């Protein structure tokens, strides 16, 4: 391709574009290696792999959205939990959650019975992820994953694994990978599962013989509950408990995602918990900052960690649980007025 284009700049541009569109990825040695490994290790047919990856389009917008690694020396940006929370805890999203609960009550009840995860927590995740299925993503997942796997600014290895999982998932489910849509990062369906999570944790909750997280709300509900249960969700235990820290101790005590504190040890240091009966096990200390005001602090227990396994962010998990409470409250008001 390059030889034929040599000489004429205009022609070269046209050739480069068509190379990107058709054979671009297939011409790359690391892509050939990936295809050979998929064939040798998983028995996928080379012709099928070439059809799919040969059709993959580089998406500059995906690379941009994934973004570069923040240099270690950079000053961390000023973070505001209230600002983050406000994006998800809107009146319309809370009302949509209460309506969704009404419509899908039977599935939510069954998910709680089977996995011990209450309806509002499943709804909190669905609400933050996709506003209950309204924004499930319009990127072709093969394009997103191939772009980051081979041209991404970071985490190429992780996304190569996810591309592999996508291809295996499509084979398992007997669907054409080129038809699968999702977020810029390759997350799919109402609950925005990555391919590896679909293969590992998703369940066919409506029992029609296929797992479909885009078309079946029941599968989406069951899969979220199954996922949280696999990461240790324990029925009836609080996830987050507000705490009061002694003065000037935050720098030492805040652990974010890491659950490394003994409750007794924290109490000895003067930490006060707002709830008497606490779950068993270690906890984290989470900071919820508000610029210009004192931060709030929470102790995160096992159920909080389960939600952070969905997305490794304390803001994310706290917003899911806040949205869950708000939906539960809205639901209680609706049922009380009936
Ligand atoms: Ca199903």
**How many whole angstroms from 4 Cα to the centroid of ligand 1?**
50
Q: Please state the length of the chain.
A: 338
Q: Is 252 helix (H, G, I), strand (E, B) or coil?
A: helix
**How many whole angstroms from 310 Cα to the centroid of ligand 1?**
21
- Given phi > 0 = left and psi -120 to 50 = alpha, else beta, which region is 224? alpha
23: tokens are 């054979």
Query: Based on the number of CB atoms within 10 Å of its own CB, is 154 exposed (0-12), middle (13-18) or buried (19 or more)?
Result: middle
State the sign of the Cα–Cα–Cα–Cα dihedral 217, 318, 315, 227.
negative
**How many whole angstroms from 191 Cα to the centroid of ligand 1?**
14
**How many whole angstroms from 208 Cα to the centroid of ligand 1?**
5
| Helix, strand, coil percentages in the chain from 3-state DSSP, rounded to 5 | 55, 10, 35
pTM over 0.75: yes
Is residue 327 within 8 Å of residue 265, measured between CB atoms? no
Dist. CA 225–CA 100, nearest whole Å: 16
Q: What is the pLDDT at residue 13?
A: 42
Q: What is the pLDDT at residue 5?
A: 38
Dist. CA 89–CA 286, nearest whole Å: 20
**How many whole angstroms from 196 Cα to the centroid of ligand 1?**
18
Q: Which residues are catalytic?
A: 129
Q: What is the pLDDT at residue 336?
A: 86
Which DSSP state fits 28?
A: S
Is residue 253 within 8 Å of residue 263, measured between CB atoms? no
In 3D, which of 176, 133, 182, 135 has the Cα closest to residue 162? 182
Give DSSP secondary structure letters for 224-239: HHHHHHHTT--TT--S
Mean pLDDT per 10-residue run, the chain (338 residues)?
Answer: 39 41 80 97 96 96 89 81 98 98 98 98 98 97 98 95 98 95 98 98 97 97 98 97 97 97 97 95 97 97 97 97 98 86
Q: What is the pLDDT at residue 196?
A: 98
Collect residues with CB below 5 Å from ion ligand 1. 204, 206, 208, 216, 219
**How many whole angstroms from 55 Cα to the centroid of ligand 1?**
29
């Amino acid at each position: 391709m390059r030889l034929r284009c040599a000489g004429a700049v205009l022609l070269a541009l046209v050739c480069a574009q068509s190379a990107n569109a058709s054979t671009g990825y297939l011409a790359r040695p690391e892509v050939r290696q990936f295809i050979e490994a998929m064939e040798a290790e998983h028995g996928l047919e080379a012709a099928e792999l070439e059809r799919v990856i040969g059709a993959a389009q580089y998406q500059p917008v995906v690379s941009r959205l994934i973004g570069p690694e923040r240099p270690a020396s950079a000053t961390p940006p000023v973070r505001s939990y209230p600002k983050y929370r406000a994006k998800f805890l809107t009146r319309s999203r809370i009302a949509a959650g209460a309506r969704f609960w009404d419509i899908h009550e039977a599935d939510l009840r069954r998910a709680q019975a089977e996995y011990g995860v209450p309806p509002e927590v499943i709804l909190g995740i669905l609400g933050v992820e996709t506003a209950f299925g309204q924004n499930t993503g319009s990127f072709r997942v093969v394009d997103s994953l191939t772009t980051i796997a081979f041209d991404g600014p970071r985490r190429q290895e992780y996304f190569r694994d996810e591309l592999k999982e996508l291809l295996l998932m499509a084979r398992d489910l007997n669907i054409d990978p080129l038809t699968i849509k999702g977020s810029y990062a390759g997350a799919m369906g109402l609950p925005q599962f990555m391919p590896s999570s679909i293969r590992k944790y998703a369940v066919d909750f409506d029992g029609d013989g296929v797992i479909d997280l885009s078309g079946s709300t029941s599968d989406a509900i069951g899969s979220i509950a199954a996922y949280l249960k696999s990461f240790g969700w324990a029925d009836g235990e609080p996830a987050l408990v507000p705490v009061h820290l002694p003065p000037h101790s935050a720098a030492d005590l805040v652990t974010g995602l890491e659950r490394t504190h003994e409750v007794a040890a924290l109490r000895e240091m003067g930490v006060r918990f707002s709830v008497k009966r606490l779950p068993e096990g270690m906890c984290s200390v989470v900071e919820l900052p508000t610029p210009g005001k004192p931060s709030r602090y929470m102790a995160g227990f096992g159920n909080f960690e389960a939600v952070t396994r969905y997305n490794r962010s304390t803001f994310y998990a706290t917003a899911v649980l806040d949205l869950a409470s708000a939906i539960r409250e809205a639901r209680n008001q609706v049922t009380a007025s009936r």
